[in-house]
Structure formats: structure tokens, C-alpha cells
Amino acid sequence: MAASREILSSSLSERSSASILASSASRSLLGTGGGLLRGTLCVRHRPPPAGRSRRCRSSFSKTSPAKETTRNPLVKVVTPLEPEEFQVRAAVTIRKKTKEDVKDAVARHWDGLSDIIGWNVILQIISEELDPIDKNPKKSSEAALKDWSEKMNAKGDRVICTAHFILDKNFGIPGAITVCNRHQREFFLESIVLEGFPSGAVHFPCNSWVQSTKDRRKRRVFFSNKPYLPAETPPGLVQLREEELREMRGDGTSVRKMSDRIYDYDVYNDLGNPDKAAELARPVLGGEKIPYPRRCRTGRPPTDADLHSESRVEKPHPVYVPRDEAFEELKQGAFLAGRLRAVLHTLVPSIMATISADKADFSSFHDLESLYKEGLILKMGLQDHLLRKIPLVRQIQDSSEGLLRYDTPSILSKDKFSWLRDDEFARQMLAGVNPVNIERVRTFPPVSTLDPAVYGQPESAIRGEDIAGHLDGMTVQQAIDNNKLFMLDYHDAYLPFIGQINAIEGRKAYATRTIFFLTSFGTIKPVAIELSLPPLSPGDAASRRVLTPPVDATSFWLWHLAKAHVNSNDAGVHQLVNHWLRTHACVEPFVLATHRRLSTMHPIFKLLNPHMRYTLEINALARQNLINADGVIESCFTPGPFCMEMSAAAYRESWRFDLEGLPADLLRRGVAVEDPTQPYGLKLLIEDYPYANDGLLMWSSIQNWVRTYVDAYYPSADIVQSDSELQLWYWEAVNVGHADKRQAEWWPELDNPASLASVLTTVIWLSSAQHAALNFGQYPMGGYVPNRSPMMRRLLPEEGEPEYAEFMANPHRLFLSAMPSLLQATKFMAVVDTLSTHSPDEEYLGERHHPSTWTSDARMVEGFYRFSAEVRRIEKEIERRNADHKFRNRCGAGVLPYELLIPSSPPGVTGRGVPNSISI
């Protein structure tokens, strides 16, 4: 022992002397300008134990290798070697459920127990580099998440669990992480951040459900936020990139499980329910017979009655969408609350309709207004009538705390009689919920494109003498030459279906044309309405009726009935064509193609990702409850069971992707002309056109952002053409997603940066601003049914008919009887209230999840912040316009400001806000 102490003392003395000498030498060298030398103790580098790889370990290294460097013949100065290994920490953010049922709580506790005994969540880091020996990607050892049980039981909606790794200094840049979930249930992985790399933190945006190994044996792969074109993929990630995309595509067979993440295409063969009733059968939409876009495949078996129809899943059971496309908890809660509200709003009228035929219609306009003031129970004295028979209704009223009362629509907020005025009727064609159908009159009288042998004379019945007195002294030709005549033409869209619609009890419709004149004040006014019925048989003359602005009491009420039919047609085209078809249905193939063909590390995927959020889920819910046979749309809109066939006819006859961008659409409708001297390269012929004015601001900001983004990654046409993923994405969206239109010559070629930017701008425009302009005004404008009734139940009375005497005696009562019934109106109001509601977790244009880390490309982060700032400037500009009295179509006594394209919004029904995606 004494000898040992002597040796130890001698060793310490030598080290102390060496340290003093080194320090003295360092000061000496500094004094002579020799530079700064850092002296350290020499620590011997111990080799790793046998069987343990030096390249990658899961325990901490306790030694630091060094080498001796002779700086001065009198002293040995020791400098450190670069460490062979270094520590990395993974911070894993997991989103918890804020509301748990008993089953969830039991599963959470079981997962906590499983984690303690080793059935935990395992991570492994994958390098961008290949191992030079085995030519496989370099991989870290596996590491488990720590403290799962404790942290998942803590309060809060997010927790951060950690894992630690020891990596070899030659590991390279981390490009991917695999996650293995050995718990019993899935969890939502928001992000992973690796800390400890010399280059700084590495971010992995995940935002995905990680399934248990009992549901999905393969490990999940998440790539870092560093974007790579396919040809630039680091060698260590090439195989993973290909495998991930292949798995997302699936093999096109079998029924999809709710936990699947497979994106595939199918036709709309699940709208009918022939097994329930023969009258609920519906034709398949998609294919040569009835062209239509494709939807997300579920793979359910066919119905018993029709092998071409897919069996249905009814509420409350969910329809399959890939797992990550489902609503997140906050969105789901808001949507279910809206559905509950809709159920309650519909319940009492449903009861009323079954027990009391005499209360099925509104008897006065006061009855309508009482829906907003008193609610459904109290209106029209229904409480006594109902409570005598159904005591439960009182409990519903008491427990719903006002849920049975409707919010007052914006159209009534400033002037409750505005909807009666002709100028307001016309203004809404420019600044209402459907401002995308008005077009310039180029030929007078207007001419139909339908087969005259079937539908009669193609020329309109409107003549010059009908409108000459309403053109401020101009002749019809002068008005046309001066771009003063405009038209809302629903003749060809409706006429082929009118006979079938009018054969349905309680539904009546015309094919309508409406002519407007642009006044010197910048407003438009209706000057003629044409109501057409098809010939009774081929070769017969069509029935046509032309009405002009009223001159007496009788013509006043007939004119308002005619406007109501125009509004009903407008509501149908808006919902079935412009809203559902042109945004929801036509964007879905691009969403499917993006997930199937673009890796999450592809820069274009990163650009499009926020604009695809929730779209597949809301479309699946629409197929389940809105556009299906006997669903809300068929129940509430005039075309009834022919609604989706009308939508398909519009797709076949007029839909063109190259004309879906805003400038192209304005030029197509003739409401703008090309003018290179103007800011957007075109001039509006109706200068005060709120939708177009604000829309061009939004279009331009999106276009500039997309061009900046595309130019950064595609400086030449060759790079666009050689990008295999990008070319397959576009090819599949066109040739599979829009297979029935694939032969059209108007599809843009994706062969240079400009064409790519144009395609992407159009997709983002449709998903964000266009959808917002067509959706979020539905309740503010349509919540008061007389303003734009979705359904008409009577034709205009004519002299000699029994209805004419009823009309003359009580015109307003007949007018209300032509509107939807109490049940139909309240059902419609409840649905558009839900559709017009912003979720609390909405992401608006100019916003995105983790704005600083969605990409590692600092140029694009900076570019996005510039885009976001531009969107905020647009918001201020729209607010300024709405306060400027020279814009009479958006400012004036009782005039609603046009706010549908104001980018931001709080939650709820606000009549404003532009979400990134089609999310409702």
C-alpha cells in the first residue's frame, strides 16, 4: 500500500510539473507572437470493448482521444483530437388527446405499464450517407423514449419525450428517423428535433399517427425538413424514399382499414343505396358514360342490388380516409358540435312535419324572422302544440341552452329588406356567395348550345324592345358595344333536367336567363328575366316567359317570384358546380397524386402540404351525408335526385383546368379583357367587382410566392422535365385523377418553370381563396331563405289557372308557399351554418405549422414570411376598400361589406377568412 501511495504521489507530481511547464511555455510563446496554444492533459484513448462498434454506441464515452504535439524543445504541449463519438438528444413532441373516454384512459395506463417493462417506442437515426463497407445506409443503434408513463399522465395537450444516442464522428448528416411503436395504441407524433450535431439542430416535421406494431409491423419513416429533388437524394435515403412512396400507393386491392395510410383512386359509385330502396339507386359518376373526377378509394364490397355500386357506411360510422387525413381532435370536436346543432335544429321541424300538416309552411315573413329571435320551439306558438304530445321537447329546449335559436344572418343585419331590392339582387352576383357566373353579353339575343331538335329554338325569347327602356337611352347594340350588358345564363344547365324535376311532387323549376345593365354609377341592375320550360315532346315549341322590372303591384310580385327562381338556380349551380365540383371534387385527384408520387422531402410536396389539409376527410363526409342519395343536397335543392347528374354534366361540358385560374376565368366570361398596361395584365369591364378586385390581389400574392419558390429549385426547363416524381405527379393527376378528361388538348404541358408555377398557383388558388369565396358566405347570405332560396315549389301563376286567384288575393302567402317548407328551410339553414363555420384550429393563408422549421431552406423560410406579410397588407387594403364610398357594390347604406377574401378570421361563422385548404 505504501508503495502504491508513493507511485501515485510521484505520478501526480509529474503531471503538476508538466502542467506548470506547459503553462509557462504558453505564456512565453504568446509573448513572442507564436499564437495561442491550448494546453490540456493528455488522456489515453482506450479502445472500445470487444463486440461494440466504434461507429455507433448507445452509452456515453468517458474518454477524449488526444495527441502530443512538440511546439518547443523544452516542453511537450498536448492538443485534443476530434472526439471519435458524440452525444445526440432526440426531443420528440407528442400531441395528447384532450378528452378521453374510459377506453382511452385504460389504453393510456396500459401503454404506460408496457413502456416500463420494455414494450416502448423505439427510434433509430438514419444517415444520408452509405456505409463504405456494406453499402447500406449508416444507422444509429436503437434508443427508447424515456419517461413515457410519467409525461403522458401530466397535464397539457403536448408532451416532449427524449431519447439519447451516441454517434460516430463519421456518421454524417441525419436524413431520416424510424419509429417503432410497441404500445397497444397509436399516438400522434408532431415533430422530432435532434440536438447535438455540430451543424446545429435537425428538424423532422412528422404530424402523423404512428400505429402500433400489432396494426402495422413496418417501422414508420420520417425525413428531415431538408428538401431534395429526386436526382439530388442522398444515397442513404434513396431506397427509403422509394419504399415510402410505394407503400402510400398500396396495391389497389382489399378493403381499407381506418389505420391505413394508402391513397388510391375510385369512381363515385358510393352515392346511392339500392339495397335500402330502389329509388335510392344512383348512377356511377366517373367513366365514359358520365365523366367525373376520381375520389379516394375505400375498397368496400359492392351492394347486393347492384354490383357496380359500392356498399355504404352510414353515420355514425366513419368513411375511410388515409389515417393522417382525418380531422384532428379540435377540428373533430368543432365539427361534431356543428352536427349536433344541426340535428337539434332539424329535430323539431321533423316532429312538426309528422304531426301537424297545417304548420308545414311559413305563413308570414315574421315566422322566418322568429327563428333568429325566439327559436324553433317558441315560433308560431309551436310549444303548446308540441308539448301536448311530446313532453321530451321541453327537455330538449331547456337543455340545449339556445341551440335551437339561429344566429341572425348578415344579410339581415344592416337592412332586413335589402333582399327585396333589385340592386341588391344584382349586387350579389358581384359580391355574394356565388360571384363567378356573371358574363358579358356578346350576342343578342343569347343563343343556346342545346340540340334544337330536342329543346326547341336556340335563340332567347328576350327581344330588344323588352329591355330598350332600361338602358339609359342606349340601344341594345350600343350597350353591347360599350360593354354594358351582362348575363346570368342558367338555361342550358337546367333545361335538360326541367322535365324530370317538375315531375317530382313539391319541386318546380325553370331554365333561366337574366340580363343586367351596367349603370353609370358602376352598379348593375336586372332588366329582363327569361323563364323557360322544355317542349312537351320533340318538335314542339318550348314554353318561354319574359319578365321585366315591375310597373304595378301584380308585376311586382311576379317579378319577385321570377327573381326567386333565378336565385334558386343560382344556389344550385353554386353548390353543385362552383363549390362542390370546381373546388372539392376537382382538387381531390391532385391531393391523391401528391401523396402517391411526391416524397415528403420533395420541395413541391412541402409547398402543397398545407393546402391539402382535411380535404379528403371533408369530401368523404360529403359523400356520406351531403351529396348522397336522399342526403342534404338532394333534400334541400331544387334538382333533388338529379343534383349530382347536373354536377357531372357541368364537368363534361365546361370544366377546363387551364381556365380555373382567376385571370383566365375572368377573360373566359368576358368580364375582363387583356391589357398589358394594367397591374394584372387585364382590365375589368365592371370596375367595381368586389370578388374580382380582391381576388386578383390574392391571386397575385399566391402567384408571386409560387414563382419565387419554383425558380429556387427549377432554374431551367431541363430540371422540370427530368424530375421523375414531379412528372409522375402531374401525369397521374391528369390521366388517372381526371381520367375522363385526359385526352383534352387544353391540359398545360409541365415542361418549364413557368408552366409548373402556373399549375401550382391554380391548385393553391382553388384550395384556398376560391373555395373561401364560395363557401363561407353561405349562411351569412343564404341563412335567410327568401334571399336565395335553394328550392322552389311553385311555378309562376298565370291568368286562368286556379292558383292565379290565390295569388291575387294573397301574393305574399303564395310567395312563401313557393319557398321551402319549415322542415326544408331549417334543415338547409342548419347545414349551411355548419359549412360556414371556421374551426378553432383553422390555418389561414400566410400561416403554416411551425413557420420557421417546415423547411431547412432559409431562402424559402424568408420567402414565406414575405408572402405572409403581403397577405396581411392585402387584408388592410380590402378593409380600406370596404370603407370607401365610391365602391357602391361594397359600401353604402345597408350594404354589406365584401369580406369573403379577407385572409384572417376568428372561429365561427364570420363571413370572412381564407383557410389554406378545403377543410369544410
Based on the fold, state whether residues 194 and 273 are members of the same structural domain: no
Stretch 584-611: mean pLDDT, rounded?
Answer: 98
> How many Å is the Cα radius of gyration of the chain?
34
Q: Does the pLDDT of residue 813 top 70, yes or no?
A: yes
β-sheet bridge partners, residue 553: none
Of 214 and 193, the one with more pLDDT:
193
Residue 238 domain flag:
no
Burial environment of residue 725 by CB neighbours within 10 A (0 to 12, 13 to 18, 19 or more) = buried
β-sheet bridge partners, residue 570: none
Strands 682-684 and 672-674: antiparallel
pLDDT number for residue 453: 92
Integer Cα distance of 244 and 220 in angstroms? 9
From 67-81, 513-527, 589-603, the region with the lowest mean pLDDT: 67-81
The CATH number of residue 677's host domain is 1.20.245.10
Based on the fold, state whether residues 521 and 596 are members of the same structural domain: no
Asked if 402 contacts 375 with a C-beta cutoff of 8 angstroms, the reply is: yes
pLDDT number for residue 605: 98
Domains held by the chain: number: 3
The CATH number of residue 537's host domain is 3.10.450.60
Phi and psi at residue 200, to the nearest 5° = 110, 180
How big is the CA angle at 800 (ends 799 and 803), to the nearest 5 degrees? 80
Integer Cα distance of 404 and 409 in angstroms? 15
Based on the fold, state whether residues 276 and 194 are members of the same structural domain: no
pLDDT number for residue 33: 35
pLDDT number for residue 60: 35
Based on the fold, state whether residues 720 and 800 are members of the same structural domain: no
Q: Does the pLDDT of residue 512 top 70, yes or no?
A: yes
Stretch 66-84: mean pLDDT, rounded?
Answer: 55
| Active site (catalytic) residues | 579, 584, 771, 775, 920
Residue 7 domain flag:
no
Q: Does the pLDDT of residue 917 top 70, yes or no?
A: yes
Stretch 531-541: mean pLDDT, rounded?
Answer: 89
Phi and psi at residue 733, to the nearest 5° = -60, -40
- CA-CA distances (angstroms) from residue 683 to 442, 473, 667, 761, 798? 17, 25, 9, 20, 44
Asked if 827 contacts 791 with a C-beta cutoff of 8 angstroms, the reply is: no
Query: How is 773-784 classified by DSSP, letter by letter?
Result: HHHTTHHHHHSS
Q: Does the pLDDT of residue 58 top 50, yes or no?
A: no
Stretch 9-36: mean pLDDT, rounded?
Answer: 37
Integer Cα distance of 311 and 628 in angstroms? 12
Integer Cα distance of 550 and 742 in angstroms? 49
Q: Does the pLDDT of residue 22 top 60, yes or no?
A: no
C-alpha cell read off for 769 = 381563396
pLDDT number for residue 445: 96
Q: Express each pLDDT in 751-776 by its tens digit.
A: 999 999 999 999 999 999 999 999 99
Based on the fold, state whether residues 659 and 706 are members of the same structural domain: yes
Closest CA to 191 of 177, 181, 180: 177
β-sheet bridge partners, residue 139: 126
Q: Does the pLDDT of residue 416 top 70, yes or no?
A: yes
C-alpha cell read off for 180 = 417503432
Closest CA to 895 of 906, 875, 915, 881: 881
pLDDT number for residue 299: 96
Max CA separation in the chain (angstroms):
132
How many CB atoms lie under 10 A from the CB of residue 670? 16
pLDDT band at 375 (very low <50, low <70, confident <90, very high): low
The last residue of a domain, from among 203, 225, 247:
225
Helix (H) or strand (E) holding 808: helix 802-809
Of 58 and 206, the one with more pLDDT:
206
Asked if 358 contacts 645 with a C-beta cutoff of 8 angstroms, the reply is: no
Q: Express each pLDDT in 238-274 by its tens digit.
A: 999 999 999 999 999 999 999 999 999 999 999 999 9
Query: Over pLDDT 70: what percentage of the chain?
Result: 84
pLDDT number for residue 52: 37
Stretch 723-737: mean pLDDT, rounded?
Answer: 98
pLDDT band at 346 (very low <50, low <70, confident <90, very high): low
Q: Express each pLDDT in 540-556 by its tens digit.
A: 888 999 999 999 999 99
Residue 359 domain flag:
yes
Q: Does the pLDDT of residue 349 top 70, yes or no?
A: no
Residue 53 domain flag:
no
Q: Does the pLDDT of residue 214 top 70, yes or no?
A: yes
Residue 93 domain flag:
yes
Q: How many helices (H) and strands (E) does the chain have?
A: 31, 23
Q: Express each pLDDT in 849-880 by its tens digit.
A: 889 999 999 999 999 999 999 999 999 999 99
Based on the fold, state whether residues 742 and 637 are members of the same structural domain: yes
Stretch 116-144: mean pLDDT, rounded?
Answer: 92
pTM listed for this prediction: 0.88
Based on the fold, state whether residues 393 and 325 are members of the same structural domain: yes
Stated length of the chain: 920
Residue 373 domain flag:
yes
Stretch 374-402: mean pLDDT, rounded?
Answer: 44
Based on the fold, state whether residues 776 and 797 are members of the same structural domain: no
Assess whether the previous peptide bond of 316 is cis (omega < 30° from 0): yes
List of residues 6+ apart from 85 with CB closer than 8 A: 54, 57, 61, 166, 167, 168, 169
Strands 295-296 and 265-266: antiparallel
Residue 23 domain flag:
no
Residue 422 domain flag:
no
Based on the fold, state whether residues 720 and 737 are members of the same structural domain: yes
Based on the fold, state whether residues 598 and 741 are members of the same structural domain: yes
pLDDT number for residue 338: 65
pLDDT band at 404 (very low <50, low <70, confident <90, very high): low
Residues of the domain holding 816: 437-575+790-820
Strand positions, DSSP E, 81-172: 85-95, 121-130, 137-139, 143-144, 158-168
Stretch 358-369: mean pLDDT, rounded?
Answer: 77
Strand positions, DSSP E, 810-918: 837-838, 908-909
Which of the 8 DSSP states describes residue 551?
A: S
Based on the fold, state whether residues 557 and 587 are members of the same structural domain: no
Q: Does the pLDDT of residue 471 top 60, yes or no?
A: yes
Q: Does the pLDDT of residue 66 top 60, yes or no?
A: no
pLDDT band at 607 (very low <50, low <70, confident <90, very high): very high
Stretch 576-601: mean pLDDT, rounded?
Answer: 98
* Crossing angle (nearest 10°) for helices 553-573 and 422-431: 10
Q: Express each pLDDT in 284-318 by its tens digit.
A: 999 999 999 999 999 999 999 999 999 999 988 99
Of 373 and 592, the one with more pLDDT:
592
pLDDT band at 53 (very low <50, low <70, confident <90, very high): very low
Based on the fold, state whether residues 154 and 189 are members of the same structural domain: yes
Q: Kindly report the average pLDDT of the chain as a whole number.
A: 87
pLDDT number for residue 267: 98
Stretch 372-398: mean pLDDT, rounded?
Answer: 47
Q: Does the pLDDT of residue 579 top 90, yes or no?
A: yes
From 149-163, 188-202, 849-863, the region with the lowest mean pLDDT: 149-163
pLDDT number for residue 72: 53
Phi and psi at residue 62, to the nearest 5° = -105, 5
How many CB atoms lie under 10 A from the CB of residue 734? 21
Query: How is 394-430 classified by DSSP, letter by letter?
Result: HHHHHHHTTTTSPPPPGGGTS-TTGGGSHHHHHHHHH
